[in-house]
Amino acid sequence: MKLDGKVAFVTGGRGGIGRAICERFEREGASVYAADLTKTGSLGSGGPGRFVQLDVSEDASVKAALDLVAKENGRLNILVNAAGIEIEKTIEETSLQEWNNCFAVNVTGTFLTSKHALALLRKAAEAEDSASIINFGSYDGFIADPGLAAYCATKGAVHALTRAMACDHGPEGIRVNAVCPGYVDTPMLQSFFSGDGSGGGGKTMDQLQQAVRDVHPMRRYGTPEDIANLVNWLASDEARYASGQLWVLDGGLSAQVQQMRL
Amino acid sequence: MRLGGKSAFITGGRQGIGRAIVETFRAEGCSVATCGRGARPQDLAADTAWHCIDVRDAMDVTNAALTKGNIDILVNNAGVQVEKNVVDSSDEDWATVIDTNCRGVFNVCRAFIPVMNEGGSIINIGSISGQVADPSMALYNASKAFVHGLTRSIAVDHGPGIRCNAICPGWIETGMLEAGFGLAGNPTAARDDAITRHAVRRFGQPNDVAAMALWLASDEAAFATGQCFTVDGGLTAASPLNPGLF
């Protein structure tokens, strides 16, 4: 098993993608903390990994969660910053509070969790074990989806932060990468399709979903497991030379010029 | 066995990155054929088929595709470099670099895509040099940008049956890297300086690239297509300014 004996901490661990990551990490032999706001998360049920209550935007909450990891393990090999929210609005419709919330979770959350995890990651690296941070960017950090302005901006910030962290902490043996999913079948995607900003244009939800699917060279949406496959690779020692990169996993969507006709 | 029951054709398996990919795929249960311009290398494992072909020659390549038949994985690794700027590059240099790195990849893809199985994966070896320029490597840099563009086109045109991605290695310890340092006034100083520019403080090994190729070749990467994945130890994530300045 690829992650035997490693300790992993996954934020958003009860969400669509985070849950699949926790499940995969456990299968690969890691000891996993699934950190989320609530025990059931966005899917409304329990899941793999040991649950830790966490609000990534609150300094004290993040510190308390990582203090627990320190007490129980004294080190951390893998940090996955998967907690994220989206606001389905243009900037004109977005209130200051919504904007701040989106940045608080997606950007500040990544900052705070990484900041408090660094000492533990360094411990793992010093023991010549692997230490890897995997942030969640998005293909929306490169190209925009309609009505997602604040979300797109937060993902661009995560991309830049990923490179900066890789540059600063690489010499300490800590690799930092971001996974940038495209359309992945999760509660967040369902919300996007039903939201006002999706550009539905009177089409039914099924028509809209089929039209978007057909634009993908792979002719399907991603699954949380697809994303977990890549996260698992980046967390493993196979990826020991991969750092500072943004890994787009989108079924080929962004390899082509815009041609959606919804 | 992550590639059990699969069959692969890997160009340029004589040495370096190509050989590492051959060995990695074999170890994961893949049936491997590779090729190069001369006789079969003596240290190539007996179960690995060798095709003595030049990827620049379309007829050679077509014959190899017909002989080899159906495959699941195609790796376009064969490549050459010439260390010159535009003004110094001769027509012969153009023919060497562009015919191998561009026409070769085109020849191989054109011949093999029709004999690839549904669910197949093409992995092209691009380079960070196709995204940012290495000095005095004009034609090589441009040839790798071609590979990246062709990668996206194949992904868009031949999905969902075939996935196509590129790996963009950074500085990998091979003969090609040594040739690059040979250009410096003080090769040892150049080497030390280059290492401090890598966030992970080392050069890559051929196995680092082979590990990415293995992931892309496997069904784990079933949603990955049309992308250029960089494996460079953090080199291109940082500014090219000399780190000693800070």
Domain with residue A91: its CATH number is: 3.40.50.720
How many separate domains does chain B show? 1
pLDDT tens readout for residues A9-36: 999 999 999 999 999 999 999 999 999 9
* Contact partners, residue A103, CB within 8 Å, separation at least 6: A150, A153, A154, A157
Name the pLDDT band for B2 (thresholds 50, 70, 90). very high
For residue A178, give the DSSP letter.
E
CB B143 within 8 A of CB B97: yes
Name the pLDDT band for A1 (thresholds 50, 70, 90). low
Task: Report percent pLDDT > 70 for chain B.
Answer: 98
CB B75 within 8 A of CB B169: no
Domain with residue B100: its CATH number is: 3.40.50.720
Tokens of residue B104, six digits: 């070769």
The residue of chain A nearest to residue B229, with distances taken between CA atoms, is A247
Answer yes or no: is B190 within a domain: no
CB contact under 8 A, B237 and A239: no
Answer yes or no: is B46 within a domain: yes
Answer yes or no: is A47 within a domain: yes
pLDDT of residue B241: 78
Answer yes or no: is A127 within a domain: yes
Answer yes or no: is B219 within a domain: yes
Name the pLDDT band for B244 (thresholds 50, 70, 90). low
Å between B74 CA and nearest CA of chain A? 18
Answer yes or no: is A160 within a domain: yes
Sheet holding A31-36, edge to edge: A50-53, A31-36, A7-11, A78-81, A131-136, A174-181, A246-249
Answer yes or no: is A208 within a domain: no
Longest dimension (CA), chain A: 58
Where is pLDDT greater, at B177 or A64?
Answer: A64
Which whole-number Å values give the CA distances from B243 to A142, B132, B190, B194, B237, in the listed order?
27, 18, 13, 10, 13
pLDDT of residue A187: 82
Where is pLDDT greater, at A249 or A204?
Answer: A249
Instruction: Please enumerate residues of B whose Cβ is less than 8 A from a Cβ of A.
Output: 151-152, 155-156, 159-160, 163, 170, 198-202, 204-205, 208-209, 211-212, 214-215, 220-227, 229-238
Answer yes or no: is A41 within a domain: yes
Task: Report percent pLDDT > 90 for chain A.
Answer: 79
- A171 part of contact set with chain B, CB < 8 Å: yes
CB contact under 8 A, A242 and B224: no
The dihedral over CA atoms of A85, A88, A93, A94, expressed in degrees to the nearest 10, equals 10
Domain that holds residue B46: 7-174+205-231
pLDDT of residue A42: 74
CB contact under 8 A, A255 and B156: yes
pLDDT tens readout for residues A94-123: 999 999 999 999 999 999 999 999 999 999
CB contact under 8 A, B233 and A243: yes
Å between B229 CA and nearest CA of chain A? 7
Choose the weakest-confidence range: B67-71, B184-188, B214-218, B224-228: B184-188
- A244 part of contact set with chain B, CB < 8 Å: yes
Name the pLDDT band for A197 (thresholds 50, 70, 90). very low
Answer yes or no: is B22 within a domain: yes
Question: Per the residue annotation, which of B140, B141, B169, B208 is the catalytic one?
Answer: B140
Answer yes or no: is B179 within a domain: no
Please, where are the H alpha helices in A127-240?
149-169, 187-194, 205-215, 224-235
Which whole-number Å values give the CA distances from A129 to A93, A121, A132, A240, in the listed order?
47, 9, 10, 11
Answer yes or no: is A102 within a domain: yes
A171-198 mean pLDDT = 84
Name the pLDDT band for A161 (thresholds 50, 70, 90). very high
| Phi-psi sector, A13: left (phi>0), alpha (psi -120 to 50), beta | alpha
For residue B14, pLDDT beyond 90 = yes
Answer yes or no: is A209 within a domain: no
Cis peptide before A48, with omega less than 30 degrees from 0?
no
Domain that holds residue A76: 7-184+223-251
What does the alpha-carbon distance between residue B91 and residue B94 come to, in Å, rounded to a whole number? Answer: 5
10 Å CB burial of residue A152 (0-12, 13-18, 19+) is buried
Å between A4 CA and nearest CA of chain B? 18
Answer yes or no: is B93 within a domain: yes
Burial annotation A157-167 (CB, 10 A radius, 16+ → b, else e): bbbebbbebbb
Element (H, E) at B76: strand B71-76
pLDDT tens readout for residues A116-156: 999 999 999 999 888 999 999 999 999 988 899 999 999 99
pLDDT of residue B239: 85
A208-237 mean pLDDT = 93
CB-CB neighbors (< 8 A) of B235 in chain A? 244
CB A160 within 8 A of CB A166: no
**DSSP character string of A113-154:** HHHHHHHHHHHHHHTT--EEEEEE--GGGTSPPTT-HHHHHH
- A247 part of contact set with chain B, CB < 8 Å: yes
B189-215 mean pLDDT = 94
For chain B, what is the mean pLDDT? 95
pLDDT tens readout for residues A36-80: 999 887 777 778 999 999 999 999 999 999 999 999 999 999 999
Answer yes or no: is A20 within a domain: yes
pLDDT of residue A202: 59
Å between B75 CA and nearest CA of chain A? 19
Query: By three-state DSSP, how is residue B8 classified?
Result: strand
Answer yes or no: is B194 within a domain: no
pLDDT of residue B246: 63
pLDDT of residue A245: 97
How many separate domains does chain A show? 1
Name the pLDDT band for A198 (thresholds 50, 70, 90). very low
For residue B215, pLDDT beyond 60 = yes
pLDDT tens readout for residues B155-165: 999 999 999 99
Residue A183 annotated among the catalytic residues of the structure: no
pLDDT of residue A203: 65
Name the pLDDT band for A196 (thresholds 50, 70, 90). very low
B53-71 mean pLDDT = 96
Residue B162 bridge partners (DSSP): B120
